[in-house]
Structure 1
Amino acid sequence: MGTTGATGSAGGEDGGYDYDLVVIGGGPTGENLADRAHAGGLSVALVEAELVGGECSYWACMPSKALLRPGAALTGARRVAGSREAVTGALDAAAVLARRDAFASHWHDDGQVRWLASAGIDLVRGHGRLDGERRVTVDTPGGGRRTLTARHAVAVCTGTRAALPDLPGLAGARVWTSREATSAKSVPRRLAVVGGGVVAVETATAWRALGSEVTLLVRGGRLLERTEEFAGQLVSDGLRAAGVDVRLGASVTAVRREPDGTVLLDLADGTRLPADEALFATGRRPATADLGLESVGLEPGSWIDTDDTGRATAVPGGWLYAAGDVNHRALLTHQGKYQGRVFGAAIADRAAGRPLDLAPWGRSVATADHAAVPQVVFADPEVAAVGRTLREAEDAGLRVRAVDYELGDVSGAALHADDYRGRARAVVDLDREVLVGVTFVGPDVAELLHSATVAVVGEVPLDRLWHAVPAYPTVSEVWLRLLETYRG
């Protein structure tokens, strides 16, 4: 598919297609950027080599949460007397995987393609590469090549790929990355998970609930190193209670797959771990190795640094933009979509000669990526956090105080689940008396996060938060308890 937009002009194979904006990468970030720029009056071509909708729709957010939700629902029922007695069986793995497949649209992007057409955005299928200033060459599925020229801007929204360590035997061991972990068609009897971050924790949680014997190999001394320390500890306790073998300080030195399909992982302590599948959740790298960055003076395979309007800071002329994971500001889908909306508006404003809106309600400058990024880890217990941790705030030179409260002592939490265990922390900037970070850990705390995000982004004074009365009896009553603890 590759029709022309309202103001786009179609040319031949040598002349290419002319648009106001060419977007490389059709995931959520690219879609939002293209949509916002088109709404601002620009003709837009979106180039996608795989499925429109990107990693989030087919191999990350949607399928992973679809795998996690049934286990969380079952565990939630077992936490309350009365419903606990009604639960007599385990998860139906086939039903869970079928539901996952539906949320991943069975790995077809027809719906996303229809949306692009309805929005007036042209889709060009194929692998796009930069080819100098405002030029993108696209190797199409049929073996041809098109050249797209952009009147105003090119936006790179290609995201990231799994980063694998350089280990003996790994290349031939057919290990899982996050893609295989979220799209597997059957439940492995034994699953080894290498890593201690969000992907590792969520995968271990999901497949353990589906019946796998899961071993989590963590090279460091704790899980979720970018969160408050107590968050990693509570998640580790939860995984162990669910039957996951959590091994801290465990380094893999070699991997191989046997003829019978067994994966063998050699560990630094001299032991060997057999598994049916092994997931390596060991980080992400920018998907820019084959993007033609060298044609615009950038290093292939590198992150693309940008300013708060999305412009690539190392490329002269202000025509190249980068949004989402590829700019390394915040590797989260919702932040990529946020950048897409903001940067798309900035591109449209500049193309029309409009000044960028810098007012508090401005739409053309991204600020949330600096110190107000929200994230949920869908483990058991959940971790929901926004802004800075205590250590990050101190490292930034702020004079801060951490205010902690046990979530199980909140009436709403005690009603929500028997023996509710969790913790909340608010990091207070003592000079301004505003919150710069909030973390909740406990069952079903994800829905508490947006209230914390509003408080942090809005820099709401604590004296005003006193008048935001939490409904009783809900888990949100923790807000009152945190303020009371702060006041002493």
Structure 2
Amino acid sequence: MTRSEVPSGGPGADEYDVIVIGAGPVGENVAERAHASGLSALVVENELVGGECSYWACMPSKALLRPVTALADARRVAGAAQAVGGTLDASAVLERRDGFTGNWQDKGQVGWLESVGLDLLRGRARLDGPRRVVVETHDGTTRTLTARHAVAVCTGSRAALPGIPGIEDARPWTSRDATSAKEVPGRLAVVGGGVVGVEMATAWQALGSEVTLLVRGERLLPRMEPFAGELVAEALTAAGVAVRTGVSVEELNRPAADRPLTLSLSDGGRLECDEVLFATGRAPRTDDFGLETVGCEPGSWLSVDDTLRVTGVRGGWLYAVGDVNGRALLTHQGKYQARVAGAAIAARAAGVPLLETDRWGAHAATADHDAVPQVVFSDPEATSVGLTADEAERRGLRVRAVDVELGEVAGASLYADGYRGRARMVVDLDRGVVVGVTFVGAGVGELLHSATVAVAGEVPLERLWHAVPAYPTISEVWLRLLEAYRG
């Protein structure tokens, strides 16, 4: 037990200003912000400090994907292409990934909690009425805790498996299995065309699996502009992934634990594979959590206002931050919410009126509605922030979408021979500002923050003309987009 880990008892040990349930990046940030404002804070965690992102999502998945894009980038540049050959060393890639997860040990993350003065209690937490949290600790005791000001639920989300016949006996992979597997499966079926499905198909195909990607809809990455999914699908197919759209899994059959499994498909076909990954959605971690004791529905997403306070709970003491509120299931967005929630909790605890709850105020998570950035680390990368053209029109905005082929930008042609990619800027014609941007292409993830600044800052297009991109970089696409807009 480190100094930050609280013992099972002790005078006054069961009352804190703020109790945070969940020690992922979101919970860590809520607790740190509250503590930095002078409030006492306890973090309760049932698994590993650092949460899903550190051990089963962001970090291990990107550790798997970076060697894929590094090798692909080298092969797209004459001279470098001649210096590389062969395939990825799967064992070295998996070993590097394990290093980024700390081999699924949380000593470093616990050290960070200690360094900022936060207390940690390991165990399973349940709400037990207003401001009360009961914890079944890992040492076998039960603790009843009271929060003077706030309880923040930061328990995140889990993979949601569909109710398909045979799925339990088939023992399918979820995203956790896909990012932590110790061996490369010979044949992998990936069900789902969203971010997880696309990224894991990219990674495991490059590591040596024969991958089939099964998508119920007609395109990949359905929440992005249509061309994003089209370009990614073309690249996956060229790499060797069998991409099948308009098909779903209706039944699974695995005769024995050490045997392949068979997928029965909606088109009447069958597919045999060694493992199947279901990347078909997420569910909130609010099961058996005591929500009924505070008037909320067990197992539900927790609806919140823009200060991240749960709506409909009397007294205004309960907050839900990160995935668990269903607003934007992304680690960086959850950390953004955590900063807003921490500031709101501290202000309310001090009796200070929240004067900055309007759009873009210090106590309002406005970006959740208007400026959510996302990078899909496929090859090519697909990135977006703000609204697609269709979303903007559905909101009643009068918009114009401007497209530029990224391969025509000098910096892109230097980045890779035969560079393929596309950029789209969605402009609100009435206000003269950018409300959405999408980039697809190699290395474009590092372009996205410039677009996020433009969207979140509501920078007028006439001012963007004075933001001069360095030559020759891929960022020069901004100049090309503005030129195309002016015609």
**TM-score, with length taken from structure 1:** 0.97
Matched with 1:441 is 440
Q: Is the 8 A contact 1:2 1:124 kept in 2?
A: no
Q: Which residue, out of 261, 280, 283, partners 1:282?
A: 280
Structure 1 residues 361, 220: CA separation in 2 closer, same or farther (over 3 Å shift)? closer
After TM superposition, give the deviation of residue 365 of structure 1 in Å: 2.2
Q: Which residue, out of 61, 64, 69, partners 1:67?
A: 64
Q: How does 1:206-245 map to 2 (within 5 A)?
A: 206-245=203-242
Counterpart residue identity of residue 352, structure 1:
A
| Deviations, residues 112-167 of structure 1 (Å, cap 9, x unaligned) | 11111111111000000100000000011122210110000100000001000000
Matched with 1:143 is 140
Corresponding residue SS for 2:340: helix
Matched with 1:422 is 421
Q: Is the 8 A contact 1:201 1:379 kept in 2?
A: yes
Counterpart residue identity of residue 266, structure 2:
A
Tell me how far apart the structure 2 counterparts of residues 379 and 246 of structure 1 sit (CA, whole Å).
14
After TM superposition, give the deviation of residue 355 of structure 1 in Å: 2.7
Q: How does 1:9-408 map to 2 (within 5 A)?
A: 17-259=14-256, 260-358=258-356, 362-408=361-407
Structure 1 residues 47, 9: CA separation in 2 closer, same or farther (over 3 Å shift)? closer
Aligned length in residues:
485
Q: Is the 8 A contact 2:359 2:366 kept in 1?
A: no
Corresponding residue SS for 1:158: coil
After TM superposition, give the deviation of residue 367 of structure 1 in Å: 1.0
| Deviations, residues 52-81 of structure 1 (Å, cap 9, x unaligned) | 000000000000000000010000000000
After TM superposition, give the deviation of residue 354 of structure 1 in Å: 2.0
Matched with 1:481 is 480
Tell me how far apart the structure 2 counterparts of residues 12 and 40 of structure 1 sit (CA, whole Å).
25
Corresponding residue SS for 1:154: strand
In structure 2, the gaps of 5 or more residues are: none
Tell me how far apart the structure 2 counterparts of residues 194 and 11 of structure 1 sit (CA, whole Å).
47
Q: Is the 8 A contact 2:4 2:113 kept in 1?
A: no
Tell me how far apart the structure 2 counterparts of residues 112 and 475 of structure 1 sit (CA, whole Å).
36
Counterpart residue identity of residue 479, structure 1:
W
Counterpart residue identity of residue 487, structure 1:
R
After TM superposition, give the deviation of residue 9 of structure 1 in Å: 12
Q: Is the 8 A contact 2:4 2:110 kept in 1?
A: no
Q: Is the 8 A contact 1:193 1:215 kept in 2?
A: yes
Corresponding residue SS for 1:69: helix
Corresponding residue SS for 1:126: strand
Structure 1 residues 276, 361: CA separation in 2 closer, same or farther (over 3 Å shift)? closer
Corresponding residue SS for 2:374: strand
Tell me how far apart the structure 2 counterparts of residues 245 and 177 of structure 1 sit (CA, whole Å).
20
Tell me how far apart the structure 2 counterparts of residues 221 and 38 of structure 1 sit (CA, whole Å).
48
After TM superposition, give the deviation of residue 316 of structure 1 in Å: 1.2
**TM-score, with length taken from structure 2:** 0.97
Tell me how far apart the structure 2 counterparts of residues 257 and 30 of structure 1 sit (CA, whole Å).
39
After TM superposition, give the deviation of residue 361 of structure 1 in Å: 7.8
Counterpart residue identity of residue 170, structure 1:
I
Counterpart residue identity of residue 426, structure 2:
V
Q: Is the 8 A contact 2:205 2:211 kept in 1?
A: yes
Q: Is the 8 A contact 1:10 1:18 kept in 2?
A: no
Q: Is the 8 A contact 2:44 2:120 kept in 1?
A: yes
Tell me how far apart the structure 2 counterparts of residues 104 and 344 of structure 1 sit (CA, whole Å).
27
Tell me how far apart the structure 2 counterparts of residues 225 and 361 of structure 1 sit (CA, whole Å).
28
In structure 1, the gaps of 5 or more residues are: none
Structure 1 residues 186, 10: CA separation in 2 closer, same or farther (over 3 Å shift)? closer
Q: Is the 8 A contact 1:339 1:366 kept in 2?
A: yes
Corresponding residue SS for 1:376: strand
Tell me how far apart the structure 1 counterparts of residues 2 and 98 of structure 2 sit (CA, whole Å).
28
Q: Is the 8 A contact 2:262 2:270 kept in 1?
A: yes
Q: Is the 8 A contact 2:8 2:141 kept in 1?
A: no
Structure 1 residues 346, 119: CA separation in 2 closer, same or farther (over 3 Å shift)? same
What fraction of aligned residue pairs are identical, expressed as a percent?
Answer: 70
Q: Which range moves more in the overlay, 33-42 or 266-275? A: 266-275
